[in-house]
Amino acid sequence: EVQLVESGGGLVQPGGSLRLSCAASGFSFSSYSMNWVRQAPGKGLEWVSYISSSSSSIYYADSVKGRFTISRDNAKNSLYLQMNSLRAEDTAVYYCARTCLVCQGSLDYWGQGSLVTVSS
């Protein structure tokens, strides 16, 4: 069974940093590209970042470019999101999501989410 489990969320002050982790199991993690998607309270979904299976390609939404860094450790079946210079508007549930291999960019499995709250 495919499982994605996020951790590392919490309360942080504006300007602070936080690192999210996503532990993957039940599939060959090193074969799949991965994403972070976030959802502000009561709002819609916003794609945040993408990393290819080998980490050779990385992309970010303009809203987080220069502040967030995505990475992965295939030996540990883990995905990460380092978030720096956090702002109130970064408050959201952050989901890790797997890119479907045959589904043209669709995201076929999602974690349960990790809440990040940026507030003083």
Partner 1 sequence: DIQMTQSPSTLSASVGDRVTITCRASQSISNWLAWYQQKPGKAPKLLIYKASSLESGVPSRFSGSGSETEFTLTISSLQPDDFATYYCQQYNSFTWTFGQGTKVEIK
Which is closer to partner 1, CB of 9 or CB of 111?
111
Instruction: Please pick, from the candidates 1, 44, 75, 120, the single residue that binds partner 1 as defined by CB under 8 A.
Output: 44
* Shortest separation between residue 92's beta carbon and partner 1, angstroms: 13
Residues in the chain: 120
Q: Does 113 bind partner 1 (CB under 8 A)?
A: yes
Q: Does 50 bind partner 1 (CB under 8 A)?
A: yes
Q: Does 45 bind partner 1 (CB under 8 A)?
A: yes
Question: Which sign does the torsion angle of CA 70, 22, 78, 24 carry?
Answer: negative
Burial 41-53 (b: 16+ CB within 10 A, else e): eeeeeebbbbbeb
